[in-house]
A and B are shown apart, each in its own frame.
Chain A
Amino acid sequence: MSADLGAPTAAQPVAQPETGSQDRPVALPRPEVTPAEPFAVPVPIRHRLDNGLTVLSYDMPGQYIHSLRLAIPVPVHQEPVDKEGVATIMARTLDEGTARHTALEFARLLERRGVALGAGVGESGLSMDIDVAKRHLDYALDLLRQCLTEPAFPQDQVERHVATRLAEIEQERSVAGHRAAAEFWSTYFDPTARASRPVGGRAETVATVTRDDVVAFHARHIAPDQATLVIAGDFGGIDVIDSITRALGGWTAASAYQAPPPRPSAEVASDRARIVVVDRPESVQTEILVGCPGPDRRVAGGWAPYPLLGFLLGGAPTSRLDALLREDKGYTYGVRASFRPRRRDGVFHTSGSVRADATVDALRLLLGVLDDAREGFTAEEVQHGVRYLTLTAPGRYATADAVADEAAALAYDGLTTEFTGHTLRELAGMDAERVGTAYRRFVDGQWTVVLVGDAAGFIDEIRELGRAAVTVVPT
């Protein structure tokens, strides 16, 4: 099976007891589910260091591996347009040598105490992740301090990561899902928007990134005052705020630092409602990606209906899309739908890969499900979805890494897991009318469609669907 998310169900018949034999063993009546205990999403203790660093701490007894997530809202739209990807190269070279250690020495320092450290840049900014055994927390924090405050960005390591990113661009291009996503963003957003281009840069821009560019970007954009450090784990017998203050209290901004300006809105392309086919001769499947504008977390009427809508449409083999395309038609291993809030300019995405010779029917049915959902959802569907999302919450937020990930994702948006708790409480009172209204607020049948597959096999019929203008581009 593919999915661990699911969709609503009809009322269940209760099985009757029966007599059994060796061949037909006794079955008991279907058990009733007893009500779940009330659950509150963990909320942080908030602390602000004198240098402006916000610390959100979650004490989770029994979680012996501490998860730390540093979120810095580095504005990728401020990358020079001919150097796009410089933020990503900077992130990847933060731990490739410091004032006191070479890249190899630093890797050894991390690994001799089992410190897992990663860094990357996404649409929201820079993220640094550390997972470390509780007893090595102070050790790990000191290494984090070195990465942040005295990275050396050795010339050879910068060059190496440029070469690696260039290879990665080719690898991404070869994967149908990645290729579809890249084509989607460039079709959906106006070309003037940074979001229309890959966060990690394109080959022609990455290739020009130098050590000086990396050093300058770091000095200009990496500082504690907009940063949030999340820490989750078992705090028994230790003072994590004291540890963090000792390690990071002396972190200051460079003189070149510029606080991030307000984030510009990303313009959606005026001709976004069209179909783009990325031609890959001989593909045995077609990757489909369909999207339209969606809400961000501050949408009028509240965010809560949108995770539910994603779940009802494309969460599991029993969701509307998979019930038809997977369980009835057998066209696909699974189709997923989700509302992605981003920081602003959210998007509603539906994606999956289907058997090549079923491409046209699959797209027609998929768009039909999404369009028909404007008619609304039954109270029963909504209730089952609400139960799933609310009742799975204790398990979904049971480990330090899950809580830290959620908290960090929200931190870029100026929110904490209090928002998650609020969303769950809103969900508990959700009704079908509100869900239908929320869907219609954004979904109007105007879709950006990307197909990655063997165009010769379906292009004429796709045109005959008459959904939108069709263009074909090379892979």
Chain B
Amino acid sequence: MPDISYPLAERTLPNGLRVLVSEDHTVPTVTLNIWVKVGSRDEVVGRTGFAHLFEHLMFQGSRHVPSGEHFSSLLAAGGRLNASTWFDRTNYFETVPKGALELALWLEADRHGRLLDAVTQENLDNQRDVVKEEKRQRYDNAPYGNAMRDVYATIFPEGHPYHHPTIGSMADLEAATLADVHAFFAQHYGPNNSVLTIVGDVTEAEAFELVERHFGPLPPTATRRVEGAMPPLPPLTAPVRFEHRAAVPNDRLYLAFRLPADGTTDFLAAGLALDILGGLSSSRMVERLVRTETIATGLSAHPMGLAGGVSLGIISVDVLDEVDPAVVERAICEELDRFAAHGPTEEELEAAVAETERSWLSALAGQDERADQISHYAALYDDPGYLNSFLDQVRAVTAAQIHEAATAYLLPQQRAVVAYLVEPDAGGSESPGDLTSVQAGVAQ
């Protein structure tokens, strides 16, 4: 594989804004991507879901931009834009024709520096309603829609920053006030708690000059979040489980594991172990449960990288009708034991690395995803060059390291199981219990 090497230049403004620029002149567009170091892990008790609700308010106008105009003026300039919120961060991004880059910077600077003038009770109420519908659509009215919420609540202890999902709870969304919006902006939003990346058809000098022009005047008002401060969370020492009977089409099990934080060799090794176990079409568990014993109709496994001292590994499996889910769970545990005993074969390692290479290069093919990865690793791991070094790091992982990671993090006794089971004669849609009842029996 010819090693990829995307150009990368970096500068930090006096107000603390970290700026990264990667020139790419193959297409006459530019991506502007901003990571703010605030996510659902930073939310306080009684305000779950707030980071995401706040993200919606960022589209409702700022001092010089009327409500809705951020969207409409970038769309009219040929921009594609969005934002998203996750445990560790909130990101804002647009890809625009290069002649609209300065407009994008002006709009972003206005909302990242001067949002509060425009926030109104009416906007808050409206976006609260929209977010509640988002929650209903994606989680409450979907089969298995709340399964990942239950995974987080089962594997992370009560009070841990990753214990609750980014979408939050209806009660907490309901409780959010304008005062919360002001306090949240003051604490988390500002150039000194953000990373800004530009990728595309612009020179480094032009890009730095434009960013300086629009973001340079913003004062460093945020409380800068220090990365790496969350203590490691060790693996579970005994299995925990949460069972939910509901009107789902088939039994589905989620087996979750605490992995090391992202940005570490141990995390890469554990991720490759998960690929080998269940992430590929030729994986051991797929071969046994899906192809050979045909007790499952599908099985997947993947690592979910997080920055705060712990990541998540997930194996999910759809149980074939009339098969006892306990049989399926036992087979998965046997494969975990077998892997822990012997580690991967060279052929398995080769496949896991090859699949990682292809998916990484596919992801970086577009300017937008490339910009997001640069921001990601700059903001959370102080390593913006990760996009160029990642594949070398993956190829350097040895079979022995994967074996070691599996014995440290992927043992049957380290699993948290969330089981969504078909309710006999269930009428109507699923009516999930509230989060509190989920936590009761399972908190560690």
Chain A residues at the B interface, C-beta cutoff of 8 Å: 1-10, 12-13, 15, 20, 22, 24-28, 30-37, 39, 61-65, 103-104, 107-108, 110-116, 131-133, 135, 156-157, 160, 163-164, 166-168, 170-171, 173-176, 280-285, 316-318, 323, 326-333, 353-355, 384, 387-388, 390-392, 394-396, 398-401, 454
Contact = CB atoms under 8 A, between A and B. Distances in A.
A173 to B, nearest CB: 7
A318 B128 CA distance: 17
Interface stretch (B99-107, B148-156, B258-266, B303-311): B99-107
A61 B133 CA distance: 43
Q: Most chain-B Cβ atoms within 10 A of its Cβ — which of A133, A163, A331, A401? A: A133
B249 A353 contact: no
Contacts of B365: 63-65, 399-401
A285 B133 contact: yes
Given A31-B103, A111-B280, A327-B68, 9 more contacts: A7-B72, A30-B103, A30-B106, A107-B280, A281-B429, A282-B428, A282-B431, A318-B68, A401-B362
B97 interface: yes
A387 B143 contact: no
Contacts of B129: 329-331, 355
Interface residues on B, range: 35 or more
Contacts of B120: none
B333 interface: no
Contacts of A396: 80
Contact of A174 (B28, B106, B143): B143
A60 B377 CA distance: 28
Nearest to B248: A174
A284 B97 contact: no
A23 to B, nearest CB: 8
Contact of B217 (A13, A20, A131, A353): A20
Interface string B150-191: 000000000000000000000000000000000000000000
Contacts of B59: 1, 317
26 contacts: A5-B75, A6-B81, A9-B68, A9-B72, A22-B219, A28-B106, A31-B103, A33-B99, A39-B28, A62-B24, A63-B365, A64-B4, A65-B361, A110-B281, A114-B355, A135-B1, A160-B294, A166-B321, A167-B249, A280-B428, A327-B130, A333-B133, A384-B72, A388-B75, A394-B27, A401-B362
Contacts of B361: 64-65, 133
Interface stretch (B33-41, B346-354, B378-386): B346-354
A15 B109 CA distance: 13
Contact of B141 (A26, A32, A116, A284): A284
A395 B29 contact: yes
A62 B81 contact: no
Contacts of B351: 108, 111-112, 114
Contacts of A329: 129
B75 A316 contact: yes
Contacts of A65: 358, 361-362, 365
B27 A171 contact: no
B129 to A, nearest CB: 3
Contact of B75 (A2, A9, A20, A27): A9
A351 B375 CA distance: 34
Interface of B: 1-2, 4, 24, 26-29, 55-56, 59, 63-64, 66, 68-69, 71-84, 95, 97-100, 102-103, 105-106, 109-110, 113-114, 125-130, 132-134, 136-138, 140-143, 213-214, 217-219, 247-250, 280-282, 287, 290-291, 294, 297-298, 318, 320-321, 347, 350-351, 354-359, 361-362, 365-368, 427-429, 431
The 3 lowest CB-CB distance pairs between A and B, nearest first, are A391-B78, A330-B129, A9-B72
Nearest to A62: B26
A173 B249 contact: yes
Contacts of A167: 249-250, 297, 318, 320-321
A331 B133 contact: yes
A26 B217 contact: yes
A333 B129 CA distance: 9
Contacts of B97: 33, 36-37, 391, 394-395
Given A39-B28, A330-B130, A391 B219 contact: no
Contacts of A103: 291
B367 A282 contact: no
Q: Mostly helix, strand, loop or mixed at chain A's interface?
A: loop
Contacts of B68: 9, 317-318, 323, 327
A316 B42 CA distance: 29
A281 B28 CA distance: 51
Given A317-B68, A330-B129, A391 B77 contact: yes
Contacts of A1: 55-56, 59, 82-84
Contact of A390 (B78, B142, B298): B78
Given A1-B59, A170-B250, A384-B76, A395 B114 contact: no
A280 B214 CA distance: 52
Contacts of A27: 63-64, 109-110, 114, 217
A132 B365 CA distance: 13
A317 B99 contact: no
Contacts of B281: 107, 110-111
Given A1-B59, A326-B130, A398-B29, A8 B76 contact: yes
Contacts of B428: 280-283, 454
Contact of B73 (A9, A108, A317, A394): A9
B251 to A, nearest CB: 11
Nearest to A396: B80
Given A167-B320, A317-B71, A391-B97, A333 B429 contact: no
Contacts of B75: 5-9, 316, 318, 384, 388
Contacts of B132: 355
Q: Most chain-B Cβ atoms within 10 A of its Cβ — which of A26, A27, A328, A396? A: A27
Nearest to B200: A395
B134 A36 contact: no
B136 A284 contact: yes
A165 to B, nearest CB: 9
A12 to B, nearest CB: 5
A333 B134 contact: yes
Contacts of A331: 129, 133
Contacts of A400: 365
A116 B297 contact: no
B392 to A, nearest CB: 16
Contact of B429 (A115, A135, A282, A390): A282
A329 B367 CA distance: 35
